[in-house]
Copies of this chain bind each other. A is one copy, B any other.
Amino acid sequence: MCAQTRLSLSKERFWAAYDLSGSEKEATEKAQAICVEQTVEYPLDLIERDDIRQQILGRVISFTRVTATSYRAVIDFPTEAACDELTQLLNMLFGNVSLQPGIRLVNIGLPKRMLKSIQGPRFGRAGLRELVGVAERPLLCTALKPMGLSAQELAELAYQFALGGIDLIKDDHGLTNQLFCPFEERVERCADAVYRANKKRDGRTLYLANITGPADSVMSRARLARVYGAGGVLLAPGLAGFDIMRCVAADDAVGLPIVSHPAMQGSFTVYPDQGISHGVLYGVINRLAGADACIFPNYGGRFSFTKQACRELVDATRKNMGSVRPIFPVPAGGMRLDRVPELVDFYGDHAILLIGGDLYRQGPNIVENCAHFLRLVEQSAARK
């Protein structure tokens, strides 16, 4: 064997909290296994090098009982092992662990230097508010659909939504580059429609183009969206990958806010004793990846998120993460206008309310329906 190079890593470590199902003995074993699994993935008794044992291995820094059948272990890992790569950070937090039942990632903490290396959201809450020119109240969002409409028809809808005062108008996440509604034609027409409506009513509505698509097209679609005058982009990192969102957020030729869509992320949160908590997945990981706002299914809708999960998620979107900006939570999923007062009460001012189908249900005058939505939000926000 060649001469050994001794490691001399910094003492800086990041930590992850895992909820572990089972007896105290089982949970203890799981915690110890995570220390190995997420780093060296190698039989501990065969590691002869003290420097690897001491510097690379995960370390259980706290272990507490949560319920009669679950325990929480906080484990720290060497910062250098994640080497400033989001993909490798995700791998260390939850890569192989994802394959094991009864382990849920419920919190993470990154040291200052690591946070400084992360660009995160380009706009965040404050930046997005500036773009739409709304200082305080919750923002309004809706979606262009149903799939099957032509680019021209969607643009006509976008015009009416913008005229009605919706702040953010996004493509439905299923609209990508279908022949019956091609990306470029759709984005050009919708951006133009929103531009015209903004001019007419002196508004600042943003049209968000869905750029979820092939890995070698996401960035070019994002730049095209900018060229055609879109005010932002929609991206589903569960489909396209989290790191490509980071690239879009960091790209000056795009320079647009990003709204994240939860498609294909659901299996991480769906069972409470496995996966990743709602706060960590939607509030922290999406934020680290550069989302300025993060769509998730509201409680009480068809997706079975609980109130508690939504609360935890909202808290995570704003928790202090150094220079990584707070982002907007975007509750969605079968929300109705008659629930707006309750939603404003629960989410407060710093949320984006995404209402799709129900905006069409109020009657044939879409402009008036949107104005009604806006009045409801303004009244509910004022009443608080």
Hey, which bits of chain A sit against chain B, CB under 8 A? 1-5, 7, 9, 33, 37-43, 46-47, 49, 51-52, 55-56, 80-81, 83, 85-88, 90-92, 94-101, 143, 145-150, 152-153, 156, 172-174, 176-180, 212-216, 236, 238-241, 243-244, 246-247, 262-268, 270-271, 274-276, 297, 302-305, 333, 356-358, 360-361
Contacts and interface: CB of A to CB of B under 8 A. Distances in A.
Q: How many copies does the complex hold?
A: 2
A382 B99 CA distance: 33
A101 to B, nearest CB: 5
Nearest to A216: B247
B265 A98 contact: yes
Contacts of A178: 80-81, 83
Contacts of A216: 247
A302 B100 contact: yes
Contact of A356 (B2, B41, B263, B270): B41
Contacts of A174: 38-39, 41, 81, 88, 91-92, 95
Contacts of A38: 174
A39 B33 CA distance: 42
A153 B43 contact: no
Nearest to A94: B264
B215 A241 contact: yes
Given A91-B263, A214-B243, A275-B267, A146 B40 contact: yes
